[in-house]
Amino acid sequence: NAGVMQNPRHLVRRRGQEARLRCSPMKGHSHVYWYRQLPEEGLKFMVYLQKENIIDESGMPKERFSAEFPKEGPSILRIQQVVRGDSAAYFCASSPPGHLLKTYEQYFGPGTRLTVT
Amino acid sequence: TQLLEQSPQFLSIQEGENLTVYCNSSSVFSSLQWYRQEPGEGPVLLVTVVTGGEVKKLKRLTFQFGDARKDSSLHITAAQTGDTGLYLCAGSRQGGSEKLVFGKGTKLTVNP
């Protein structure tokens, strides 16, 4: 039973390039979340998606960042025109549909470490 | 300001000792999760607590959710070197969306 998968695990981009981070949720999970972890900081929520819908993007920077979770295929976090401050670990998490017990358990992938040079 | 405060930030102990780490907030949470994170990896879910006053045990780990659902603690009995890692608490705020709010974590080192 595969867990949450993310690729690439490490990504190096020059300033101004685009970064694309992919996340495949656990089997049977239809909710995807993206978090960012900066050095010495806690994980910060970015965006919450369900298939073909953005549910909550309150943690996403207004510019350069976008996310999608298409009907088929993985969820994608896209960062355009990257800057050095975007260097961080980006984690994807997934949860099953219908939080009957309202426990909001989320299962995390191994992360993508983005380095902007 | 940090919504979830974890203490201590760092903890270094000898194998066999007991320890408790804390997760505190002034906000009420629908549930709290504890995760453990190894360097270069993602957080791994240890437990979820939902009911105020709830106590859950996972082998040598005991988790408690405060009566008012504003705080939680993790107690480890007879720590082992394999317990070394970053312990994170996270919660979903009552009345909020499903996003998790994380504390900054307690970095635990268990020395042989």
pLDDT in tens, A57-92: 999 999 999 999 999 999 999 999 999 999 999 999
Indicate the pLDDT class of residue B6, thresholds 50, 70 and 90: very high
Residues in Cβ contact with A99 at an 8 Å cutoff, skipping those fewer than 6 apart: B98
Mutate which of A34, A104, A106, A114 to test chain B, going by most B C-beta atoms within 10 A?
Answer: A104
Of B63, B67, B109, B68, nearest to B89 by C-alpha is B63
Residues in Cβ contact with A62 at an 8 Å cutoff, skipping those fewer than 6 apart: none
Specify the pLDDT at position B32: 92
Residue A80 forms beta bridges with which residues?
none
Expressed in angstroms, the distance from the first to the final Cα of chain A is 37
CB neighbours of residue B31 within 10 Å = 24
Q: How far apart are CA A60 and CA B105, in angstroms?
A: 22
pLDDT in tens, B25-47: 999 998 899 999 999 999 999 99
Interchain pair A102, B100: CB under 8 A: no
Mutate which of A29, A91, A106 to test chain B, going by most B C-beta atoms within 10 A?
Answer: A106
Position A100 pLDDT exceeds 60: no
Specify the pLDDT at position B36: 97
Of B99, B5, B84, B23, nearest to A36 by C-alpha is B99
Please tell me the least confidently modeled range out of A70-74, B2-6, B40-44, B84-88. Answer: B2-6
**What does the angle CA A43 – CA A49 – CA A55 come to, to the nearest 5 degrees?**
100
Indicate the pLDDT class of residue B2, thresholds 50, 70 and 90: low
Q: How far from chain centre, in Å, is Cα A42? A: 15
A35: three-class secondary structure by DSSP: strand
